[in-house]
Amino acid sequence: MGKVFKFDQDVDTDQIIASQYIIYPTIDEMKPHAFESLDPDFAGSVQAGDYVVASENFGCGSSREQAPTVLKALGVKAVIAKSFARIFYRNAINIGLPVIVCKELYDHVNAGDEMELSMQEGVVRANGQEYECTKLPEYMQGILDQGGLIASLDK
Amino acid sequence: MGMTIAEKIIAAAAGVETVKPGDIHTVELDRLMSNDGTTHLTIDMYHKLKNPRIADVNKLVWIMDHNVPCDSVKTAASHKKMRDFAREHKITFYEGAGVCHQVMLEKHVTSGELIFGADSHTCAYGAVGAFGTGVGCTDYLYAMVTGHSWLLVPETLRFNLKGKLGDGVYARDLILSIIGQIGANGANYMAMEFGGEGLKTLNMSDRIAVCNLCVEAGAKTALMEVDEITLAYLKEHGREPKHVFQSDPDASYARVYEIDLSAIRPIVAKPHFVDSVVDAKECVGTHIDEAFLGSCNNGRIEDLRVGAELIKGRKVHPLVRFLVVPASAEVYRQALAEGIIDTFMEAGAIVMNPNCSVCWGSCQGVIGEGEVLISTGTRNFKGRAGHKDSFVYLASAATVTASAIKGEIATAADIAG
């Protein structure tokens, strides 16, 4: 089980990690600033295995891969949203951070709730309920399963 | 079934006869652009590969533009990494030449190409009929190592333009209107294709401004029909088209929009979303602290001319900072030659070197808590230009300059006479 960190719609990548931090030399130096503008406590309180839950168009804006990367580095297990902006979605899969479309979950969980994602079954369990998720296209699931896009270069 | 321009470019890059939306293809890439926003991380990942290699160094263009000149010790470490790697591997490299997309369009991109850029506004290249799309550094590295990548064929939205923009109305107003109409995810995963008689009334600078901002509607790419204006631009810059693709009459579109250019009015996008657009009149009188004229969207000579014409003989309001940033060195020198830089300085503007500057809130003209900026930059997200509790309004070069003079949001019409 992991804890829910909940965000609204049209969360852009500047909010996930602001411009002034993305040029820092390392991800370790950037990650304390994740979601700083929306939830200054996020980076300090998120634990490995926790989830980010959001509404429509999560990750819109800049192509900065630092956005999914800092979330993964902080231990976020998956981002579950009603929909994702394209570049964030592709970047997340490429680095091996599961991004799951679930239309119902957002309206039925609160920040701090406990939940569990089963990618194999394509369901989220929270508050005694099950919510169906959209499975990833086979090609993209394949990238995720091999541990991200770069893993294929080392084969 | 016929194909759209995006589908034809992907088919050519995949070496197949036809493609359709939803197909995933392996595509050969023509160019790979990267800037100082992410290149340091790409290099770190490159060095971790078991067999690091570059498929074709001639495809790579690296452009230092986000924090130029370097603003801090941390940035200096990231910049040094990028600069050293580019030198070692003989990668085409620019520093001080301007904002990456402007430099790419001036010096490299041509019609029919398929380009990955590690920057979301890479869709600007559609202005010359190239398929440009923004990617992260993992995608970039994969393409740099292999020369190819995978691409899901997007559906296409078609925009038929007719008529002509009225006096005091600009391409920025057009694209903000369209984004307002379809929403911040209205083109998510899709290509936006522009054509029709009205396109002939838009010059290359207008076309770049329109295509550049399509990612703010979520678009994967933007493409404009190639015509004599495009070919003249390429010729002037010493390039030939790779392919000239037009969409087929029976091409399939997810939706078709009819846009009457003469109906477009000056627009302002309010904080904190690009699709939060209103008629500029509704914002007139809003307090501002700073105004910014520049960026890959509106930092070209045409934009500077609009601003200079308005401000000539007038002064920047004493309570406002007005930052003017030409999008490239080429633009800067042209503006110098035309006396435009002098006009801005005479009026009290601060003229900066070509770079991303105020548009991305990390380097120059950063705004403080509670401050308000009106900008020709690309985005007005919360905190985009500085403090998380600051406010950014987006508008055309004319509206931004008029506001800088008035000390509050104003349109060109408001300062006339």
Residue B417, pLDDT > 70, answer no
Assign A126 a pLDDT band (cuts: 50, 70, 90): very high
The count of structural domains within chain A is 1
For B290-343, write each residue's pLDDT tens digit. 999 999 999 999 999 999 999 999 999 999 999 999 999 999 999 999 999 999
Query: Contact B41/A83, CB-based, under 8 Å?
Result: no
Q: Which residue of A has its CA nearest to B366?
A: A20
Which of A10, A21, A23 best probes binding to B when mutated, by most B CB atoms within 10 angstroms?
A23
Show residues of chain B in contact with A85, CB under 8 Å.
Answer: 185, 188, 218
DSSP letter for each residue of A70-135: HHHHTT--EEEES-B-HHHHHHHHHHT--EEE-TTGGGT--TT-EEEEETTTTEEEETTEEEE-BP
A148 touches chain B (CB under 8 A): yes
DSSP letter for each residue of B355-413: SSGGGGTSSSS-B-TT-EEEESSS---TTTTBSTT-EEEE--HHHHHHHHHHTB---HH
For A58-106, write each residue's pLDDT tens digit. 999 999 999 999 999 999 999 999 999 999 999 999 999 999 999 999 9
Going by the DSSP 8-state scheme, the letter that residue A136 receives in this structure is P
User: Of B78, B81, B120, which is closest to A87 when you measure between CB atoms?
Assistant: B120
CATH superfamily of B267-415: Aconitase, domain 3 (3.30.499.10)
CATH number, domain with residue A18:
3.20.19.10
For B82-112, write each residue's pLDDT tens digit. 999 999 999 999 999 999 999 999 999 999 9
- Cβ-based neighbour number of residue B411 at 10 Å: 24
- Coil/strand/helix, residue B260: strand
For B245-286, write each residue's pLDDT tens digit. 999 999 999 999 999 999 999 999 999 999 999 999 999 999
Show residues of chain B in contact with A95, CB under 8 Å.
Answer: 136, 138
Domain that holds residue A38: 2-154
* Beta-bridge partners for B195: B160
CATH of domain B5-262: 3.30.499.10
β-strand pairing of B255-260 with B156-162: parallel
B52 touches chain A (CB under 8 A): no
A20 touches chain B (CB under 8 A): yes
Using left for φ > 0, alpha for ψ between -120 and 50, and beta otherwise, residue B22 falls in: left
Percent of chain A with pLDDT over 70: 100
The pLDDT, as a whole number, for residue A152 is 84
Which of A11, A20, A42 best probes binding to B when mutated, by most B CB atoms within 10 angstroms?
A20
Show residues of chain B in contact with A66, CB under 8 Å.
Answer: 38, 41
CA B392 to chain centre: 17
Q: State the complex-level ipTM.
A: 0.95
Task: Please report, for chain B, the start and end positions of each structural domain, with discontinuous segments joined by +.
Answer: 5-262, 267-415
